[in-house]
Chain A
Amino acid sequence: MARKVLLLACVFLVGLAAWAAPKPGGEMVIGFGTDPESLDPNKITSAPAGMVLTHVAETLLLMTEDLKVAPLLVENWTVSEDGLTVLLYIRKGVFFHDGAPLNADAVKVNLERFRTATYAFLLFPRVNTIDVVDEYTVRFNLDKPFAPLIAHLTHNFVAIVSPKQIAELPAGKDILEPVGTGPFKFDAWVRGDYVRLVRNGNYWGDKAYLDSVVFKVIPSDATRLVLLETGQLHAMMRVPPLDASRVAATAGLELLNIPSVRTIYIAFNYQKAPFTDVRIRQAINYAVDKEAIVKEVLGGVGGVSDAAIMPLVFGHAGQEPYTYDPEKARDLLKAAGFPNGFKCTLYHPTGRYMMDAAVAEAVQAYLAEVGIDAKLVTMEWAAYLAYLRKPQPEATFDMFMLGWGCVTLDADYGLFALFHTSEWAPVGSNRSFYSDPTVDTLLDLARVVSDPVGRRATYASLLTYLWKDAPWLYLHYEGQLNAQRTVAKDLIHHPREYILAHKAWLDQ
């Protein structure tokens, strides 16, 4: 009897293992909305391009889906006590898809090239020189300590491609078919249609299970969903919130609600009356029911902001919410000398962020309840960005809605450019002309403190200060509503708004 039970148990376990074991082979098709603008690390500026590239060309360090910095092409790193020297120890035995070896020279060539790129100014602002110490060691020499550097090395735009490819690239030309070290190799890119990647059989780490992965461009959200339902897609990004419950109820489909690192806010023109008065700014924060907006307008996707950065970002410290209290808002308006409210304009994009126009309308309605008559103005995105980049005396707007994705997952990226006085538009991205010496000091300090505990404490004080000073109407952080077929296993839906197929497999 006992033997029988043991045998049955063995059969069950073997069955279970066979059921759970990843199956190799097959092609997975992932649908997304926008064609990558480029696959050259120096040229890319968008999340979709970063998502495709990261399968082919790997970064030096990895930001895991639970947002920890892990080794990738760099096995280990050290930061000197004064924070001015960073040593990167490169993984040995790694080869690019064209057979070139990964070494310190290859990394230096890539980083030097990247320093001329779109995002270099944000990612490596304090790096003076980059030296090759030995075959597998690279040194960053900084002119001032820059604590976020390690987090910035996980950014998917800092992807390492073959030095041979860079050397052979004609001057002024971009890389069209990236050659990296990743688990997939570039195969084909039909513009506006799809990018196809095939398995790298010589990958240095755990090899991919899939034979190939296709990233298919489908601009219409509704069409993407139809393709998922008919099985032409295995996974998709951006399910329309209205369809969420239907997807969740459909057999064979899975709905995934994943946080995103993007914070959505309405900034006040800090230099323009009446927004110069903190009571007015706080009143507006009390007047708007953010909980209701997230629940009703966004269908529960994302969450109400409790700081200027979202909870997953390093340095986040949650604050006491401005609970919806129109009475308190009216009192504050009265105290500030506006018992009957005032008129103002609220600029907002349409179709850029999830339900952005509907959110602006909801805010307008809440403000009307306390007597603030906000006129809504929307513009097409490129015109909007240009409008919001005027220098201070010309910028006549009162309030504007914008989002900021803190993709490095480090508070510096999410705060410095938006609140430091040196970043006033048009030079930087401080478009609301916020300026406060305490905030500037804390932002500068957090860049040079290398001890994580100290940095956290600095950001906590900064976020508390910013919360009370209310330079924004703090709204919400976005969520990603993705969906996949149940046959698609082990896809990673990353908070950076990527779907990663590195370890994915098809259960069919």
Chain B
Amino acid sequence: MIQYAVRRLLLAVPTLFGVTLLVFSMVRMLPGDPAQAMAGVHATQEYIEQVRRTLGLDQPLHVQYGRFMIGLFRGDLGTSIRTGLPVSREVWSRMVPTLELTLVSLFLATFFGVAVGVISSTKPYSVFDYTSMFGALVGLSAPVFWLGLMLMLLFSVRLGWLPAAGRSGPINLILPSVTLAASSVALVARFTRSTMLEVMRQDYVNTARAKGLRQRAVVLRHALRNALIPIVTIIGLRFGALLSGAVLTETVFAWPGVGRLMVDSISARDYPVVQGAVLLLALAFVVINLVVDLLYGVVNPRIQYD
């Protein structure tokens, strides 16, 4: 398994190399000029050219890419055009809040999604099933902006129970993580329900029941375990989606995460920061995929890594 993990990590190198090439060329394909964006609406051409030279943006593209890659091998992601700070510091300081938010949301999505899905599948077409699946549909379709503001109005303005926004303590995590998790809880719940319903029809479940096992043991030990592989896959995918899709939640709740940093940096055509952030997110995706693949083996010992 360790060998497998190492091989997968090594295989990630060409993937990440491809990402650098893609993101490097894509940000440069955007219309707009970072030197102009940095110098502002009032700047003269002379000053813009000066900024361009200072930033090394007057160099041919392959030279810029070469510099970027050399820096990367040295662990240097470059310097932000907008703020003049090292990109690694900028991105990492904003990655931490995003990770906090994403991990809590992922926990909520997994715990509530699986629980609701399992209960619904054991009582199909019951009131609980209909209500929870309708709730899941609402959770999937509610726009994050709307849901965030509604939760804020209810729990902060009306009831005064929770702080509306900002990141001053753990309590501040509740509203944004619930908002971010809503669609994932819904998706995981619906997915768990349908997978469980399929599994529950299998012969080995009937055998377990025939053995006289209690419903709880049948569901948790025999059915859920076999349903877990697709569920783990969808949770892994959601993790990636949460990580890269937190920008709206971050904006509504003034959460200083990497999503907002990326949007601000794209607006300012801050190429190094966009490159750095995308690269880090791509790395996170690679790691998540690997972890999901390794989890398959834990969930189902018949899966061999060679």
Interface residues in chain A, defined as those with a beta carbon under 8 Å from any beta carbon in chain B: 35, 37-38, 40, 43, 45-46, 118-119, 121-122, 173-174, 176, 190-193, 216-220, 222-223, 226-227, 229-230, 232, 379-387, 389, 402, 404, 417, 423, 425-429
Contacts and interface: CB of A to CB of B under 8 A. Distances in A.
B84 A193 contact: no
Contacts of B32: 380-386
Interface in B30-63: 30-34, 36-48, 51
B156 A226 contact: yes
Contact of A223 (B37, B44, B252): B252
Contacts of B44: 121-122, 423, 427-429
B31 A386 contact: yes
Interface stretch (B104-112, B164-172, B237-245): B164-172
B33 A45 contact: no
Contact of B165 (A37, A223, A423): A223
Interface stretch (B1-9, B117-125, B212-220, B259-267): B259-267
Interface of A is mostly: loop
B256 A230 contact: no
B157 A232 contact: no
B277 interface: no
Given A191-B90, A230-B160, 10 more contacts: A121-B47, A122-B42, A192-B94, A193-B254, A193-B256, A218-B165, A383-B30, A386-B32, A389-B36, A404-B41
B84 A174 contact: yes
B33 A217 contact: no
Most B C-beta atoms less than 10 A away, residue of A119, A385, A425, A428: A385
Interface string B224-267: 00000000000000000000000000011110110011001001
Contact of B31 (A35, A229, A383, A427): A383
A226 B84 contact: no
Given A121-B44, A380-B32, A427-B45, A385 B252 contact: no
Contacts of A223: 149, 152, 164-165, 252-254
Contacts of A230: 156-157, 160, 163-164
22 contacts: A37-B82, A38-B82, A38-B84, A45-B38, A118-B43, A121-B47, A174-B84, A190-B256, A218-B166, A220-B254, A222-B252, A223-B164, A223-B165, A227-B164, A232-B163, A381-B32, A382-B34, A382-B267, A382-B268, A385-B37, A389-B33, A425-B45
Contacts of B85: 174, 176
Contacts of A219: 251, 254, 260
Given A191-B93, A191-B256, A223-B164, A379 B31 contact: yes
Nearest to B34: A382
A226 B267 contact: no
A223 B267 CA distance: 21
A173 B44 CA distance: 24
Given A230-B157, A230-B160, A230-B164, A382 B33 contact: yes
Contacts of A389: 33, 36, 45
B141 interface: no
Contacts of A381: 32, 37, 267
A402 B40 CA distance: 13
Given A223-B165, A223-B252, A226-B165, A380 B84 contact: no
Contacts of B300: none
B261 A192 contact: yes
Identify the 4 closest CB pairs spanning chains A and B, nearest first. Answer: A382-B32, A192-B256, A383-B31, A193-B256
A489 to B, nearest CB: 24
A220 B42 contact: no
B269 interface: yes
A402 B42 contact: no
A411 B256 CA distance: 39
A121 B254 contact: no
A229 B157 contact: yes
Interface in B115-169: 149, 152-153, 156-157, 160, 163-167
Nearest to A217: B254
A429 B269 contact: no
Contacts of B51: 118
Nearest to A382: B32
B15 interface: no
A122 B93 CA distance: 35
A232 B39 contact: no
Contacts of B156: 226, 230
A175 B264 CA distance: 21
A386 B84 contact: no
A219 B32 CA distance: 23
A291 to B, nearest CB: 27
Contacts of A423: 44
Nearest to A191: B93
B36 A382 contact: yes
A426 B44 CA distance: 7
Contact of A385 (B36, B94, B167): B36
Nearest to B257: A192
B45 A382 contact: no
Interface in B68-97: 82-85, 90, 93-94
Contacts of B152: 223, 226
A226 B149 contact: yes
Nearest to B163: A232
A118 B47 contact: yes
A429 B268 contact: no
Contact of B267 (A173, A229, A380): A380
B163 to A, nearest CB: 6
A121 B46 contact: yes
Contacts of B165: 218, 223, 226-227, 232
Contacts of A229: 157
Nearest to B248: A220
Contacts of A385: 32-33, 36-37, 41
Given A38-B84, A173-B84, A232-B163, A426 B45 contact: yes
Contacts of A382: 30-34, 36-37, 267-269
A29 B163 CA distance: 14
A176 B93 CA distance: 15
Contact of A192 (B31, B41, B260): B260
Contacts of B34: 382
A173 B264 CA distance: 22
A354 to B, nearest CB: 16
Contacts of B33: 382, 385-386, 389
A428 B36 CA distance: 12
Given A35-B264, A226-B153, A227-B165, A428 B45 contact: yes
Contacts of A118: 39-40, 43, 47, 51
Contacts of B267: 380-382
B31 A429 contact: no
Most A C-beta atoms less than 10 A away, residue of B94, B163, B256, B261: B256
Contacts of A222: 149, 252
Nearest to B258: A192
Most A C-beta atoms less than 10 A away, residue of B34, B43, B93, B254: B254
B36 to A, nearest CB: 5
A426 B34 CA distance: 15
